[in-house]
Amino acid sequence: MEILMGFFFILVIVSAVAVAELRDLLAAALALGACGFFVGILFFLMMAPDLAIVQLIVEIMMVVVLVIALARTHRKSSEPESAKTTLALGVIVACVFILFSVAVVPLMTEFGSPQYNPEVSQRYIDEGVENTGSQNLVTAVLLDYRAYDTLGEIVVLFASVLGMSLVLRKVSKRMAEGKECL
């Protein structure tokens, strides 16, 4: 299990580097999809099947949205920053990575050990089924204990689609003539 997880973590990072470095935006979007699928598999390996389902379906949607957007714009990525700036920023990001991995990660609890704050989660695990009548504790937390969170989330979704309707209000000439974008 450990080796399998490590393998998929490496795949996630490799595809993330591909996303950052590919010059073709369509290829980078597909690499982003691959990265999301590996993240979904990792969720499944870490005992979160609900999350795996949501991540896989949302990832498909995200790739489709990006492909439609690229069809409406163009495929070729613009030039990155100059070589000197790239090197300087890369060194800064690498320094931040090394600093955090040396200073912060050793302070965190060991991977797979019982938790930092067990009280809340332990209460949900112990009493969740009697309190809510839901065997799936994730749904119990999502729609019963913390329904306010879900309310806030669906309001955010509502507002973002409202924003899209405002931003994409003006239709380009080709589409106004009734042609389809792809």
Site for another protein in 26-85 (CB under 8 A): 28-29, 32, 35-36, 39, 42-43, 46-51, 53-55, 57-58, 60-62, 64-66, 68-70, 72-74, 77-81, 85
CB of 133 to another protein, least distance (A): 3
Report d(CA 27, CA 16) in Å as an integer. 12
CB of 153 to another protein, least distance (A): 5
3-state secondary structure of 24: strand
95-124: contacts with another protein (CB under 8 A):
96-97, 100-101, 105-106, 108-116, 120-121, 124
Task: Report if residue 4 touches another protein, rule: CB under 8 A.
Answer: no
List 4, 7, 9, 41, residue binding another protein (CB under 8 A): 9
Single-letter amino acid, residue 5 = M
Residues in contact with another protein, shown as a per-residue x/- string from 143 to 182 under the rule CB under 8 A:
xx-xxxxxx-xxxxxx-xx-xxx-xxxxxx--x----xx-
Single-letter amino acid, residue 144 = D
Q: Which residue, 140, 118, 119, 143, is CA-closest to 130?
A: 140
| Spatial CB neighbours of 93, under 8 Å, sequence gap ≥ 6 | none
